[in-house]
A and B are shown apart, each in its own frame.
Chain A
Amino acid sequence: MSRILRLLVANARMRLLQWMGWRGMLLWLTVNQLVTPLLGLAVWSAALPGQAAVSDYYMALLVVQMLTVSYEYHTFANGIYDGGLAGGLLRPQPVILNPLAENVALRVWHLVVASPLIVVTALLVHVRLEYGWALLAVPSLLLAGALRFLLTYLLAMAAFWTQRAAGVVAVGETLIFLAGGGAAPIALYPPSFRTLIEALPFPAMLGVPAEIAAGAMDSGQVITAYLLQMGWIVILVACVALAWRAGVARYTAVGG
């Protein structure tokens, strides 16, 4: 286990340095990821003027979005299409390690690149996040990051069966936006929809840590949220393992 962890850290460090050379691309990716929370902030501030809870939520969501971004279609699915996965299968390490390390590196860079804009926006909207709630949101944020990685990795595995994995991943991203807390804070959904949405894994990938940081949950709800996130992780790990076994059995690419 410690060997895997060492490999992950070394790989992530290498990817961090590698991405330093692609600053233009990083800037583009980050700006692209900032748009949804900023749009949400503008729209909901106009719809419910004077409600500080909305701006607190979207400010927290900005950080959550940067630390949960997942690009496994590019870092993993493309390897299935171009044969790059063949090389990964020969290495004495789990194939998931490379996309995971790249994911970690990209999240760090997203936060670094987005930081100036996050600070300026926080000053403009007079954000009032409390340290206690922000600290409670950290475990939830880590679990959300794991969940979003697992879902995107699972959807990217569609590349084993179809040429349209990009579309499959895009559908997943749209679901995270609509039912995860990007389109609106979950608490603002009509009660019937809220019940349905809360039964899905998507809020646990985005909105839940932002809600905790914004102080929209009591301590009992926070514990329940952690447990739910862990439950979804167990389910998604099982789905990933099953999909990997089935996918790699039919993988026939040559080269890389």
Chain B
Amino acid sequence: MSGPRRLIRLLTMVFSLSLRQQLAFRADLVFEGLVTLFSVTAGLGAVGVIFTRTGTLGGWGPWQVVVLYGTFQVTTGLLQTFVEPGLQAFPSQVRSGGLDPILLRPVPSILLASLGLNAPLNLLESVAGLGVVVWGLRHLGPTPPDRAAEWGLLLALAVIIAWALRTLVAAASLFGPSTNLGAMFVSGWQFGRYPVSIYHQPVRALLTYVLPVAMLSTVPSLALTRGVDGALIALAGGAALVAITTTNLVWTAGLRRYTGATG
């Protein structure tokens, strides 16, 4: 079996195993679903209060912001399901030598460390987010199919960028074992809940080019609600490529410095 197919099969098995583990606790599933629903509703409530006082927010109408909020929840749910569970413990693995077994396995360590542990219940957040997107779109009128396709493509690129950035942040602990920037990333991520146009410079530039939360929710939502030109899609594709390449280079350089020998 070829490399990529073997890898996809392995990651599918990781997800399947994690899903079976979490489904064993049915009450937890129901409770987690209710908490997610409550949290998403609270976020929508906050958006609702804002639009009782204004007609637009950073140039976005109320239902456009609803679509953006839903998109943000979809991306967040995917990151929390596939990436965050594995990388949360990464700095402590570097310190304790727990990274050794990952390095010994015949799979690229960057993928095993970042995608080797899943939390499928967090997908409920993505499902709820998708529901919010559909709800917002129903109020905005018919959506041309090409815009939906662009949204899907930009969302996929957003997830790739998010994975690369989160892995890059985790890789910092390979250079300074006591460094744990993951939580900073999670906090910074929250600024993607609203259109990036509400922030003043230089915060807006920071959220567009350094920690590109604009790519995670604002740009895909822009495609769905107003349409984007090919140049922006190409830019997002380029950003994803740069993010993957940089992360891979930093990861490889970091592993050269790693000297753990316990487990």
**Interface on A for B, CB 8 Å cutoff?**
24, 28, 31-32, 34-36, 39, 42-48, 163-164, 167, 170-171, 174-175, 177-178, 183-184, 188-190, 193
CB distance from A77 to the nearest CB of B (A): 15
Q: How far is the CB of A211 from chain B (nearest CB, A)?
A: 16
Selected from A47, A188, A189, the residue in CB contact (under 8 A) with B57 is A47
Q: Name the contact of B42 in the complex, choosing from A28, A31, A42, A178 (C-beta under 8 A).
A: A178
Q: How far is the CA of A39 from the CA of B196 in the complex (A)?
A: 11
By the criterion CB–CB under 8 Å, are A46 and B198 in contact? yes
Alpha-carbon gap, A175 to B54, bound state (A): 23
A220–B57 CA distance with the chains assembled, in angstroms:
35
Q: Are A188 and B53 in contact (CB under 8 A)?
A: yes
**Given A39-B194, A43-B50, A46-B57, A170-B187 contact (CB < 8 Å):** no
Question: Which of B32, B178, B184 sits near A167, CB closer than 8 Å?
Answer: B32
Residue B190 is within 8 A (CB to CB) of chain A in the complex: yes
Q: Report the bound CA distance from A31 to B200 in whole Å.
A: 20
In the complex where A171-B38, A184-B46 touch, is A32 in contact with B53 (Cβ < 8 A)? no
Are B53 and A183 within 8 A (Cβ)? no
A170 touches B39 (CB 8 A): yes
Contact check, A48 vs B54: say whether CB atoms are below 8 A apart: yes
Provide the bound-state CA to CA distance between A193 and B46, in Å: 12
- With both chains docked as a complex, state the minimum distance between the C-beta of B205 and any C-beta of chain A, in angstroms: 14
Closest Cβ neighbor of B199 among chain A residues: A42
- A47-B54, A171-B35, A174-B42 known; A183 vs B190 contact (CB < 8 Å): no
B183 with A178: CB separation less than 8 A = no
| Given A39-B194, A167-B31, A188-B49; A177-B180 close (CB under 8 Å) | no
B45 interface residue per 8 A CB criterion: yes
The list of the 8 closest CB pairs from A to B, nearest first, reads A28-B183, A46-B198, A183-B46, A47-B54, A184-B49, A178-B42, A167-B35, A31-B187
How far apart sit A18 and B172, CA to CA, in the bound complex (Å)? Answer: 26
Q: Taking beta carbons and an 8 Å cutoff, which residues of B are in contact with A?
A: 27-28, 31-32, 35, 38-39, 42, 45-46, 49-50, 52-54, 57-58, 178-180, 183-184, 186-187, 190-191, 193-194, 197-200, 203
- CB pair B28–A164 under 8 Å, yes or no, is yes
B31 closest partner in A (C-beta): A164
| Cα separation A93 to B203 with both chains bound (whole Å) | 49
* CA–CA, A190 and B51, complex, Å: 10
- Residues from chain B with Cβ under 8 Å of A36 in the complex: 190
Are B39 and A174 in touch, CB under 8 angstroms?
Answer: yes
Q: In the complex the two chains form, is A43's CB within 8 Å of B198's CB?
A: yes
**A93 CB to closest chain B CB, in angstroms?**
33
Beta-carbon contact of A47 and B50 below 8 Å: yes
Q: Which of A34, A35, A48, A183 contacts B45 (CB 8 A)?
A: A183
* Residue from the list B28, B53, B184, B187 in contact with A47, Cβ < 8 A: B53
Determine the chain A residues whose CB is within 8 A of the CB of B184 once the complex forms: 28, 31
State A48–B194 Cα separation when bound (angstroms): 15
Q: Are A31 and B198 in contact (CB under 8 A)?
A: no
- B45 proximity list for chain A (CB < 8 A): 178, 183
Complex CA gap A171/B38 in Å reads 8
Shortest beta-carbon distance, A37 to chain B, in Å?
12
Chain A residue contacts of B53, Cβ below 8 A: 47-48, 188
When C-beta atoms are compared, the residue in chain B nearest to A36 turns out to be: B190
How long is the Cα–Cα vector from A29 to B255 in the complex, in angstroms? 28
CB distance from B174 to the nearest CB of A (A): 16
Could you name 11 residue pairs across A and B whose Cβ atoms are closer than 8 Å? A24-B178, A28-B184, A35-B187, A39-B190, A42-B203, A47-B53, A47-B57, A177-B42, A188-B49, A188-B53, A189-B49
Residues of A within 8 Å of B191, CB to CB, are 35, 39, 42
Tell whether, in the assembled complex, residue A32 and residue B183 are in contact, meaning their CB atoms are under 8 Å apart: yes
Find out whether the CB atom of B180 lies under 8 angstroms from the CB atom of A174: no
Q: A170 to B42: give the CA distance in the assembly, Å.
A: 12
CB pair B52–A190 under 8 Å, yes or no, is yes
B195's nearest neighbour on chain A, judged by CB, is A46
Q: Name the CB-closest residue of B to A23.
A: B178
Whether A174 pairs with B178 at a CB distance below 8 angstroms is no
Residue of B nearest to A47 (CB): B54
Instruction: Pick the contact of B194: A43, A177, A189 (CB < 8 A).
Output: A43
Residues on B with beta carbons closer than 8 Å to the beta carbon of A42: 191, 194, 198-200, 203
Q: How far is the CA of A189 from the CA of B51 in the complex (A)?
A: 10
Nearest-neighbour CB distance to chain A for B122, whole angstroms, equals 13
> Which residue of A is nearest B56, CB measured?
A47
The CA of A246 and the CA of B160, in the complex, are separated in Å by: 49
Instruction: Write the chain B residue with the least CB distance to A32.
Output: B187
